[in-house]
Structure 1
Amino acid sequence: MNASAVETLARAIERRAAEAPTHAAIITDAGVLSYAALHQFGVRAAAAMRRDGVGMGDTVAVLAPNSAVYLALMVGAARVGAVLAAIPVSADAQAQAAMIADSGAELLFTDKAGVVAGEVRTVELGKIDQWLERDAVVVPHAPVPPDAPMTIIYSSGTTGMPKGIVQPFVYRARMLESGAARGYGPDAVTLLATPLYSNTTLSSLVQTIGAGGTIVLMAKFDAAEWLRLAERHRVTHAMLVPVMCSRLLAHPDFDRTDLSAFRVKYCTSAPFAPALKAEILDRWPGGLVEFYGMTEGGASFVLFAHEHRDKLHTVGTIAAGGELRLLDDADRDVPSGEQGEVVTRSPSMMLGYHNRPDETAACRWIAPDGSVWQRTGDIGRLDEDGFLSIVDRKKDMIISGGFNIYPSDIEAVLAGHGEVIEASVVGVPSATWGETPVAFVVAPGADAAGLKVWLNERLGKMQRVADLRLIDALPRGPIGKVLKRHLRDTYVAQAIAA
């Protein structure tokens, strides 16, 4: 794929604006923006970026909730070949400041007052019209090489320093071109309530735009409002995480909401219980498709749950163009039917972690033939039909409600308490969140309830522990490694017994 062939969000919207100028591109609580209007908004944003010295390879950062303006800034950045760094609004102020600095942004767009952004020029979204070019000269599309960086998606909204996952333009180009194959079209209406700083949201948004469909974008998820919008706009597609599905099914309005226009629901980003998949199939019109993959790229797995009810315990089969290997602890291929670390590759791979070459190298596996593969940290097993089951995780990361939580961040906070000798945090199954963190703490004489309150007051919203247990000592293996699996299994067994 050469530079002139790389599709960008800006090119796709410009083409749709010429073909169907009045067709709704995005619907928000602020109103409807047609493809022609979105194109013009993006052109003005591109002209203003160029005026301010932003061009090919420069970075602009956005720290804001979902909005049509957010999307227009993405379009403008793509037009000038700039990198867009999506800063999570869920992170605390310290982490946000660190991400902004790490991104190297020339401009920061935000709706937050008092953001610590160093020397970065800040544009308030409430005053965006003052910043935009009113009578903009149309900036020509930058000649974007396929491997030029397009987005930096930060891997976590928790405290500490998340890793910036750098995705090239060709990564999104393949998504733009795959919309039709995923069932999107000009008549598609996609409801999105996950944040635009998430790769989950961007994937569905880009595929819908690429096919000329309409995005209904919520600033934040609310089950009652989601159901109202789904019925009102005759929504055909949605991207969800399991906790959202649970809340929608539990809402008293669910069974009396007309969801008959649905063709498919996509779900990803967190452990997805087979029982929840079955309930969706029984109660919700349209198909159900689960995706398993990484923002870092590599192969994806797809489960067409409505076609394979006997495989709901799996994450499906490998998507076209992907390759899979299951490796043991010595990085050797495991025998057929045995479990190993899921290591994948595909044409869509990240460029690396921003400013972190050592961590980039650590997450990759170089095969004997020199090919580069992406480590997932997950342990999986293939069945005789090629369906992958995730049976464990090598990494300690917890996925709760679609968000990544790093136990070391929570453990570091606990270490700052005067009575805590040592602590370990693990993820346990949660019907609501998929997983939720639980802390095991060695702190003789401490009060568990009080320590939990102290801890949660110092954590981000998504990090807060569901339980805190005081124990005499952490279980350790022969070489002193804490046996987190033992902590998790014991906790789950006690919960079942109770």
Structure 2
Amino acid sequence: MNPAPASNPPAFRAIPDLVREHAGTAPQRRALALAAGTEVRAIDYATLDARMDRVAAALQRDGLQAGDAIALCAATSIDYAAVYLGALRAGVVVAPLAPGSTPEAFARMLADAGARRLFTDAGSADTVGSAGQGSVPRISLDGSAAGQPLEDWLAAPGSHPAPVAIEPGWPFNIIYSSGTTGTPKGIVQSHGMRWAHVMRGAKYGYGPDTITLLSTPLYSNTTLVVFFPTLAFGGAVLLMPKFDAAAYLRLAEAQHITHTMLVPVQYQRLMARPDFDAHDLSSFRMKFSTSAPFNAALKADVLKRWPGGLVEFYGLTEGGGTFILEAHNFPDKLHTVGRPADGHDLRLIDEAGVEVPPGEAGEVVGHSGGMMTGYHGQPEKTREAEWFAPDGKRFIRTGDIGRFDADGFLTLFDRKKDMIISGGFNVYPSDLEALLGEHPAVAEAAVVGVPSTQWGETPVAFVVARDGHAVSAEALKDWLNARVGKTQRLSALHLVSELPRSAIGKVLKRELRDRHRTAAPRT
């Protein structure tokens, strides 16, 4: 699909410079807040700006220069955010690493990033282990024995770093995305890519009076695509270290939240609460979602019962192109992920790397002003992620299969790697998951392909039943199989208490395949 027209973008601005401006024009405006139980602790822009200066000055004192890297592996906190922003002010690249990583994966990521300092806390001790011990100094964000206390490490109050003129092409952060298997890949995002996220923010009501509630972790790009624009426009970010549906609703009402980012499973849990409608959520202007499939029926329920707009982003951390569904403007397109963002060129290609004709399905590839530089230190992986048009234009491959409708909206089928080839026919797990979701006893469903001696692969479902609904796995399997074609029929269905998910709500299908492999003989 040809790129949508883009208006003339404003000149590049570095996010740390924008924070400095807000500190100058509105020093006492709230910038960051942290919800701890029933209490909310906040700092204003003057305080945040000063703390960023102390971080940047300390990094320069320690000999770090623009382009060097630090790593963050800790729970969400105000100091986590301040260190992240302060490092950026010094031109230092940030690698935010998941505290839930295995020690082995963490050690690989720390080494791959070339981090010269590690900021961590007591809660991340099992993950951090001995990685980088003796070669990567550790600073403790919570004052624990995890490292040198942050307050002792910071430059003296009132310190100012040497000015750094940040350029758009400089690396901003390294986001590690290994999916559920394989060696972690460091996705290098530039300052220009983050600026592209900021530029689209004006369309969604960001401003000095914005109050954004975030309950996903700060190491996730899901969180950061809303976190940075909020601060760039001078708004306030309220951080929840851990998502809890009841606490989220209380905070949203009490703090008059205007914006939020939630993954679909969080929307599901919020909407399922019997007290949801009792909360006053009229302050909301915009709600966002990304990172996982968002069921059309759930989108419709959010639109009906939760004030404000609903926007779904579909794209990769690697960048390359974004689809945007403004669900409140296109209620008849809730089964899609929207249309390409302004200035983004999204196309579909076949297995041979040739663009498919209109109306046919293919792998989504994209080009935009927000694209990763590459996978850090892995040029071969970078090449695998790229597709070049006949004219040489560079695109990023998504690995997702989709089809454009006549209005330019994209319907996604599945991850290319998740598509099941059974008896030579393509079976899309998302089709079966959607059909299972129509059964009144089904709360959630995930379908995976497993090896089959007869068919090559065969579909297997994992289902979470709704509270108060009794149903057997065999009866549910028979119900589904009576409604699909022969090649789509399930060979097995497992009832489970919950689906395994990543920290940002993605179903971990590899774990489901492993679970089936150990529970059932090969069919």
Q: How far apart are the structure 1 equivalents of 2:382 and 2:443?
A: 29
SS in 1 for 2:31: strand
Q: What is the 5 A alignment of 1:342-421?
A: 342-396=364-418
Task: Say whether the 8 Å CA contact 1:6–1:144 is kept in structure 2.
Answer: no
Residue 125 of structure 2 corresponds to residue 113 of structure 1: yes
Residue by residue over 1:52-81, the C-alpha shift from the partner in whole angstroms, topping out at 9 and shown as x without a partner, is 111100000000121111111111111110
How much does 1:270 deviate? 0.4
Q: How far apart are the structure 1 equivalents of 2:109 and 2:419?
A: 20
Residue 91 of structure 2 corresponds to residue 81 of structure 1: yes
1:214 matched to which residue of 2? 236
Q: What is the 5 A alignment of 1:50-129?
A: 50-111=60-121, 112-113=124-125, 115=128, 116-118=130-132, 119-126=135-142, 127-129=149-151
Q: How far apart are the structure 2 equivalents of 1:86 and 1:133?
A: 22
Residue 480 of structure 2 corresponds to residue 468 of structure 1: no
How much does 1:227 deviate? 0.6
Residue by residue over 1:288-332, the C-alpha shift from the partner in whole angstroms, topping out at 9 and shown as x without a partner, is 111111110011111111111111110011100100111111211
SS in 1 for 2:202: coil
Amino acid at match of 2:137: R
Q: How far apart are the structure 2 equivalents of 1:88 and 1:435?
A: 26
Structure 1 residues 113, 378: closer, same or farther in 2, change over 3 A? closer
Structure 1 residues 141, 433: closer, same or farther in 2, change over 3 A? farther
Q: How far apart are the structure 1 equivalents of 2:416 and 2:26?
A: 48
Q: How far apart are the structure 1 equivalents of 2:445 and 2:185?
A: 21
2:34 matched to which residue of 1? 28
Task: Say whether the 8 Å CA contact 1:194–1:201 is kept in structure 2.
Answer: yes
Q: How far apart are the structure 2 equivalents of 1:434 and 1:183?
A: 33
Amino acid at match of 1:162: P
Q: How far apart are the structure 2 equivalents of 1:379 and 1:460?
A: 22
TM-align CA RMSD: 2.7
How much does 1:253 deviate? 2.5
SS in 2 for 1:179: helix
How much does 1:156 deviate? 3.9
1:262 matched to which residue of 2? 284
Q: How far apart are the structure 2 equivalents of 1:460 and 1:381?
A: 27
2:183 to 161, 182, 189: 161
Task: Say whether the 8 Å CA contact 1:92–1:159 is kept in structure 2.
Answer: no
* Unmatched segments (≥5 aa) in structure 1: 399-425, 444-451, 475-498
Q: What is the 5 A alignment of 1:300-315?
A: 300-315=322-337
Task: Say whether the 8 Å CA contact 2:433–2:447 is kept in structure 1.
Answer: no
2:23 to 14, 17, 27: 17
Q: How far apart are the structure 2 equivalents of 1:245 and 1:256?
A: 16
2:346 to 311, 324, 331: 324
SS in 2 for 1:106: strand
Q: How far apart are the structure 1 equivalents of 2:178 and 2:274?
A: 32
Q: How far apart are the structure 2 equivalents of 1:125 and 1:156?
A: 26
Q: How far apart are the structure 2 equivalents of 1:270 and 1:338?
A: 23
Q: How far apart are the structure 2 equivalents of 1:438 and 1:175?
A: 33
Task: Say whether the 8 Å CA contact 1:89–1:157 is kept in structure 2.
Answer: no
What TM-score do you get using the length of structure 1 for normalisation? 0.81
How much does 1:380 deviate? 0.9
Task: Say whether the 8 Å CA contact 2:204–2:286 is kept in structure 1.
Answer: no
Q: How far apart are the structure 1 equivalents of 2:359 and 2:502?
A: 40
Q: Between 26-35 and 284-293, report the one with greater CA deviation.
A: 26-35
Q: How far apart are the structure 2 equivalents of 1:161 and 1:229?
A: 38
1:182 matched to which residue of 2? 204
1:245 to 267, 272, 278: 267
1:227 matched to which residue of 2? 249
Q: How far apart are the structure 2 equivalents of 1:31 and 1:200?
A: 23
Q: How far apart are the structure 2 equivalents of 1:123 and 1:196?
A: 18
Q: How far apart are the structure 2 equivalents of 1:130 and 1:192?
A: 29
1:333 matched to which residue of 2? 355
Q: How far apart are the structure 2 equivalents of 1:250 and 1:103?
A: 41
Structure 1 residues 351, 429: closer, same or farther in 2, change over 3 A? same
SS in 2 for 1:27: strand
Residue 41 of structure 2 corresponds to residue 41 of structure 1: no
Task: Say whether the 8 Å CA contact 2:57–2:162 is kept in structure 1.
Answer: no
Residue by residue over 1:202-261, the C-alpha shift from the partner in whole angstroms, topping out at 9 and shown as x without a partner, is 110111111111111111111111111101110011111100000001123311111111
Amino acid at match of 1:465: L
SS in 2 for 1:61: strand
What TM-score do you get using the length of structure 2 for normalisation? 0.77
Task: Say whether the 8 Å CA contact 1:95–1:159 is kept in structure 2.
Answer: no
How much does 1:191 deviate? 0.6
Amino acid at match of 1:109: F
Q: How far apart are the structure 2 equivalents of 1:439 and 1:296?
A: 26
* Unmatched segments (≥5 aa) in structure 2: 1-10, 143-148, 421-428, 454-493
Q: What is the 5 A alignment of 1:446-465?
A: 463=508, 464-465=511-512
Task: Say whether the 8 Å CA contact 2:364–2:397 is kept in structure 1.
Answer: yes
Amino acid at match of 1:362: E
Structure 1 residues 396, 269: closer, same or farther in 2, change over 3 A? same
Structure 1 residues 209, 434: closer, same or farther in 2, change over 3 A? farther
Q: How far apart are the structure 2 equivalents of 1:89 and 1:75?
A: 19
Q: How far apart are the structure 2 equivalents of 1:433 and 1:354?
A: 39
Q: How far apart are the structure 2 equivalents of 1:8 and 1:329?
A: 40
Amino acid at match of 1:138: H
How much does 1:433 deviate? 9.7
Amino acid at match of 1:287: G
1:281 to 299, 303, 306: 303
